[in-house]
Amino acid sequence: MRSLFERLRTRRLASMFVLLATLSVAIVAGSFAAHGVRGQEKQNQSTDATPLKVVNSAVAPNEFVRIAKEVGPAVVNINTRTLPKLSENKGGRAPHGRAIPNPHQQNPDGDDQGDDQQQGQGNFQDFFNRFFGGQIPDQDGGDDGQVRQSLGSGFIVDPKGYIITNNHVIEKADQIYVKLSTDPDSQDLGRPARVIGFDKATDLAVIKIDTSTALPTVKLGNSETAQVGDWVEAIGSPFALSQTVTAGIISAKHRTIEPGASGQFQHFIQTDAAINPGNSGGPLLNMNGEVIGVNTAIYTQSAGYQGIGFAMPSNTVVEVYNDLIGVSHKVTRGSIGIRFNQGLSGAVNRVYGFKNGVLVQQVVHGGPADKAGLKGGDVITTIDGRSIKDGDDLVNEITSRRPGSSVRIGYQRDSKAMDTTVTIGDLDKVFADAGAQQAETGPDDTGDAGETKLGLVVRPESDSTAAKLHMQGVVIQSVRSGSFADLQGLEPGLVITRINKQPTGTKEQFNAVASKLKQGDDVVFEVIDPRHPDNGISYLGGTLE
């Protein structure tokens, strides 16, 4: 047996071994832990990510790309300047003294006729805005007026430099400049251009720039063959951003957005291709790269794109262009010298005994129809044996014919079928002569200045109506279609209380005020609707032309 001393020494050595072993494990574990932390730090300082590269794969170009490349060089930017004009008034202010609107609050028509005329167009018309682009005040305008700058678009149709655009783009301009897509993008306004001709009825114009080399041109397509749902592409300079391309479809055709005579030659293509201020005069293209319309107007509540735009059809554009580049530089349209109302109710058709045709409202004295024996109340049913559907059909048929040619007109009078031969006259001359005759007779001879100058007939207000409205005025009895009163939104039943702040409480007062009005005068009517007297006074007016 071992002694007690030996046993105690053995236990002490064993305990020391266990302690040393434990310390060794702890040291080794700590060493591994420290190594792991240092390894992680080292790993964060380097990366094994692969750098990105651009894939150089070819994407097959679509038709929009092809059209933009082919047609883009022929689309131009148009910049106009209207210089200050000193008035004869003592203050030496610009006409009407109007301030230039902020570019983001456009005066869509770019006119100088003020807010009163815009109100006269009616709430519906307020939404139809021309894309003039922002009018920008010139820094050097001075106290006696301001330089107005406006932007628009156009496209070259002749390599000699002939360009089609909208009339409202260049209408009031003193200086017109054109910038091609190849011209340097600098502060230079562009190449000076001159007006060849314009047509207010279709809002089209032709301008020309001088060039020593042949310029790129577009092709004009057939707008009649275009269908609702067809893809279209627009190119222009919205907000001065030249060569902007947008795409959409044809939403509708034959849209008329202005009532009465002012819209009788404007039957637009409607599209949802994005069109904005500055697009005016630019092309609307089909998928063959052919122009089928000239972008002219938008429907908007914000002066910007809201999905509805209007383009003048190319078939109309070609006819107007060919007239404007002719010797007279004006559009000549045929006329037989009648006036009629559009959109008559079915009751009128039934009472007058016709389904299709045009009910003659008035025959111009001494005009072609008058000489051929037509009278108010006749219903025109055929032209050279072809049935006439409505007023648009009649206008298109007659205006396309040259003055001096003859046409066989079938009509109904008191339910009896009749016909006559009418010699076509010049639209402008026929109605100009009629106006001259009215001017010669004068208001004192006719006894009604309101009818001859304004196009409305009034009667005295009844005592009951005056008591109901608590004011004196004259009641509108009738309004001639296409007249000044018609264009301002006046209609039968309304009561006119004042004109240009002058009371019209009696027919004599009305005639006295109306007889003094002359061409170029601003005319503002204060009217009230007896059916809705709580709506108060409405102010309708414009500039008498």
For the chain, the C-alpha Rg in angstroms (whole number) is: 38
Contact 223, 310 (CB under 8 A): no
Mean pLDDT over 345-357 rounds to 75
What tokens appear for 398 in the block? 């007659």
Q: What is the pLDDT of residue 56?
A: 86
The helix or strand, by DSSP H or E, that contains position 507, with its residue range, turns out to be helix 507-515
- Which of the four pLDDT bands, split at 50, 70 and 90, describes residue 100? very low
CB-count exposure of residue 397 (10 Å: 0-12, 13-18, 19+): middle
- Which of the four pLDDT bands, split at 50, 70 and 90, describes residue 5? very low
Residue 213 has pLDDT above 90, yes or no: yes
Does the residue 398 lie in any domain?
A: yes
My answer on whether 85 and 168 are in the same domain is yes
My answer on whether 199 and 174 are in the same domain is yes
Task: Name beta bridge partners: 479.
Answer: 456
Q: What is the pLDDT of residue 444?
A: 41
Catalytic member of 223, 237, 242, 280: 280
Catalytic member of 199, 203, 370, 486: 203
pLDDT per residue as tens digits for the range 473-511: 999 988 887 788 888 889 888 999 989 889 998 988 999
Q: What is the pLDDT of residue 7?
A: 55
Which of residues 184, 209, 234 is at a domain's end? 209
Does the residue 353 lie in any domain?
A: yes
The three-state (H, E, C) secondary structure of 124-159, written as one string: HHHCEEECCCCCEECCCCCCCCCCEEEEEEEEEEEC
My answer on whether 203 and 234 are in the same domain is no
**Is 168 considered catalytic here?**
yes
pLDDT above 90 covers what percent of the chain? 35
Mean pLDDT of the chain: 78
Please give the sequence-ordered ranges of beta strands (E in DSSP) within 486-537, or none if there are none: 495-499, 502-503, 522-528
| CA–CA gap between residue 1 and residue 13 (Å, rounded) | 19
- A 10 A CB-CB count for 100 gives 17
Which of residues 209, 244, 265 is at a domain's end? 209
My answer on whether 453 and 537 are in the same domain is yes
Nearest Cα residue to 209 out of 190, 194, 189, 188: 194
Does the residue 173 lie in any domain?
A: yes
Residue 352 has pLDDT above 80, yes or no: no
Of the candidate ranges 88-92, 402-406, 460-464, the one whose mean pLDDT is the lowest: 88-92
What tokens appear for 456 in the block? 């409305």
Which of residues 270, 294, 324 is at a domain's end? 324
Contact 433, 450 (CB under 8 A): no
- Burial annotation 457-471 (CB, 10 A radius, 16+ → b, else e): bbebbeeebbeebeb
Nearest Cα residue to 281 out of 341, 237, 245, 249: 237
My answer on whether 92 and 201 are in the same domain is yes
pLDDT per residue as tens digits for the range 73-90: 999 999 998 877 544 433
Q: What is the pLDDT of residue 410?
A: 94
My answer on whether 84 and 201 are in the same domain is yes
Q: What is the pLDDT of residue 28?
A: 45
- Domain of 292 in residue numbering reads as 219-324
- The CATH number that applies at residue 312 is 2.40.10.10
**Is 203 considered catalytic here?**
yes
My answer on whether 175 and 239 are in the same domain is no
Q: What is the pLDDT of residue 85?
A: 59
| CA–CA gap between residue 276 and residue 294 (Å, rounded) | 13
Q: How many domains does the chain have?
A: 4
My answer on whether 271 and 349 are in the same domain is no
Task: Name beta bridge partners: 285.
Answer: 233, 291
Kindly report the CA angle at 430 between 428 and 435, in degrees rounded to 5?
90
Residue 467 has pLDDT above 60, yes or no: yes
Kindly report the CA angle at 283 between 280 and 286, in degrees rounded to 5?
145
DSSP count for the chain of H helices, then E strands: 14, 29
Q: What is the pLDDT of residue 172?
A: 82
Q: What is the pLDDT of residue 225?
A: 95
Question: Tokens 């017109």 — which residue?
Answer: 176
pLDDT above 70 covers what percent of the chain? 75
Residue 212 CA neighbour count, 13 Å, CB half = 0
Of the candidate ranges 225-229, 250-254, 498-502, the one whose mean pLDDT is the lowest: 498-502
Q: Which residues does 135 contact at the CB level (< 8 Å), separation at least 6?
A: 100, 101, 103, 106, 107, 110, 148, 149, 150
Q: What is the pLDDT of residue 158?
A: 97
Does the residue 50 lie in any domain?
A: no
Does the residue 40 lie in any domain?
A: no
Does the residue 240 lie in any domain?
A: yes
pLDDT per residue as tens digits for the range 103-131: 333 322 333 333 333 333 343 333 344 43
| Ramachandran class of 304: left when φ > 0, alpha when ψ lies in -120 to 50, beta otherwise | beta
My answer on whether 188 and 89 are in the same domain is yes
My answer on whether 93 and 205 are in the same domain is yes
Q: What is the pLDDT of residue 340?
A: 82
Contact 188, 112 (CB under 8 A): no
Longest dimension (CA), the chain: 162
| CA–CA gap between residue 246 and residue 222 (Å, rounded) | 21
CB-count exposure of residue 345 (10 Å: 0-12, 13-18, 19+): exposed
pLDDT per residue as tens digits for the range 408-458: 999 998 889 999 999 999 988 887 766 555 544 444 444 467 888 898 899
Does the residue 133 lie in any domain?
A: yes
Q: What is the pLDDT of residue 214?
A: 95
Q: Which residues does 171 contact at the CB level (< 8 Å), separation at least 6?
A: 110, 198, 205
Q: Under DSSP, is residue 9 helix (H, G, I), strand (E, B) or coil?
A: helix
**Is 280 considered catalytic here?**
yes
Backbone angles phi, psi at 439, to 5 degrees: -65, -35
My answer on whether 411 and 462 are in the same domain is no
Distances (CA, A) of 383 to 175, 390, 421, 464: 45, 12, 10, 49
Find the Cα–Cα–Cα–Cα dihedral 190, 192, 198, 202, rounded to 10°. 0
My answer on whether 456 and 536 are in the same domain is yes
Task: Name beta bridge partners: 411.
Answer: 380, 418
pLDDT per residue as tens digits for the range 529-543: 888 887 777 888 888
- Which of the four pLDDT bands, split at 50, 70 and 90, describes residue 133? very low
- The CATH number that applies at residue 475 is 2.30.42.10
Does the residue 21 lie in any domain?
A: no
